[in-house]
Structure 1
Amino acid sequence: MPAALTPEIVPGLVAGGASTKIAEDIAPKFKHGDKVRARNINPTTHTRLPRYVRGKVGTVVHDHGVFVFNDSNAHGKGTHPQHVYNVRFTAQELWGPDAPSRDTLHIDMFESYIEPA
């Protein structure tokens, strides 16, 4: 990934895709099956943590590996590499008892977005 995003390189990135996955040896804090709670944070800047999952409990399904933490990197505050997990939430956890009992939603979440439940 280039240090700066310039107009000249945008077409190539869009056409070929770009990943912020990095090869860092960082131990994961969570594993498959762990119950986690999405942190209830309200940053003044952009975050990829959906508001509707904040404070809700889900289950770690998969560890995607280590990625650049976009929330800090976008503001020039460093890469803060961390694991990204796929977390499964039940519809009833997110939207209450009237939601279908068999429905679930999977969300990819940075490690700093979650805590043990």
Structure 2
Amino acid sequence: MSRIHDMGGRYGDGPITPEPQDAPVFPEDWHGRALAVTLACGALGQWNIDISRHARECLSPSDYMNFSYYEKWLAALADLLVAQGVLRREDLSDVDEAANDSDAAEPAHPLAERCLSADRVAAVLAAGGPADRKSPVAAQYQPGDLVRTRLSGNRLVAGGHTRLPTYASHAQGQILRLHGTHVFPDSNAHGQGEAPEPLYAVAFAARDLWPQAEHPNDEVVLDLWQSYLEPVSS
């Protein structure tokens, strides 16, 4: 069953209207602040990018559908901070009555030394978070090979995170490129290790993804991990 966030290629949601090229990066001031606080909290090292993506996917269906983009980010961040023990629920409330009742200075947070200071931001952002890794898993496919995707879904954790969209389940495509070996999100999102494996760019004809594609000869390229794929029988 498709989960609420797995919306790619779904009918009935209306046309996509791209933003104009001169649109501001952050239409609202708080959007930039939401991005900043998310990056700063990520620098604490208590979760990885796949865990954070899964946290957004785990928002309640009503919140996911009604929240704007950055509201999803903030809601998932709040959930992560509590789930990982960085903060308490009462720390995120508007009024912390316990704190108001005491004039004593709070002890330093255990993660205070990992705070992302302003002078480190540029270097941290420039370094990024590379996901390519060495792995003993050999590449099974080469450019030009025909493959078929498996049924979308995490095979390690029921209802878990995966990067294979439902609309591409059981579709035939062709390998365009091998990207090397990269962290496997289905494992990494659930604390089961990075488990790197080969990652491929796979091309699909629109007609092979949707029975009534508006432009059947269009091509969709997805980056897919090896365990999402199986060879096409000759």
Q: Same fold (TM over 0.5)?
A: yes
Aligned pair in 2 of structure 1 residues 24, 52: CA closer, same or farther (>3 Å)?
Answer: same
Contact 2:153 2:164 in 1 (8 A): no
- With 105-114 and 12-21 compared, the bigger mean Cα shift is at 12-21
Aligned pairs (5 A) from 1:30-41:
30-41=141-152
Structure 1 stretches of 4+ with a deviation exceeding 4 A read 11-14
Q: Deviations over 1:9-59 (max 9, x none)?
A: 6x5687222111013353201111111111013331111111100110000
Structural RMSD (CA): 2.2
Aligned pair in 2 of structure 1 residues 98, 76: CA closer, same or farther (>3 Å)?
Answer: closer
Aligned pairs (5 A) from 1:41-56:
41-43=152-154, 44-56=159-171
Please state whether the residue corresponding to 1:102 is helix, strand or coil.
Answer: coil
Please identify which structure carries the higher strand content.
1
Please state whether the residue corresponding to 1:21 is helix, strand or coil.
Answer: coil
Alignment partner, residue 102 of structure 1: 217
1:78 is displaced (CA, Å) by 1.7
Residue identity (%): 35
Aligned pair in 2 of structure 1 residues 12, 54: CA closer, same or farther (>3 Å)?
Answer: farther
Whole-Å separation in 1 of the counterparts to 2:137 and 2:153: 26
Q: Does 1:84 align with 2:199?
A: yes
Q: Does 1:23 align with 2:138?
A: no
Q: Deviations over 1:66-101 (max 9, x none)?
A: 011121012111221100000000010011254424
Whole-Å separation in 1 of the counterparts to 2:123 and 2:164: 24
Per the normalisation by structure 2, the TM-score is: 0.44
Whole-Å separation in 2 of the counterparts to 1:13 and 1:36: 40
Consecutive unaligned residues in structure 1, runs of 5 or more: none
Q: Does 1:5 align with 2:45?
A: yes
Whole-Å separation in 2 of the counterparts to 1:99 and 1:83: 32
Whole-Å separation in 1 of the counterparts to 2:183 and 2:122: 20
Whole-Å separation in 2 of the counterparts to 1:29 and 1:14: 35
Please identify which structure carries the higher helix content.
2
Contact 2:161 2:185 in 1 (8 A): no
* Larger RCO, structure (CA 8 Å, separation 6 or more): 1
Whole-Å separation in 2 of the counterparts to 1:86 and 1:105: 10
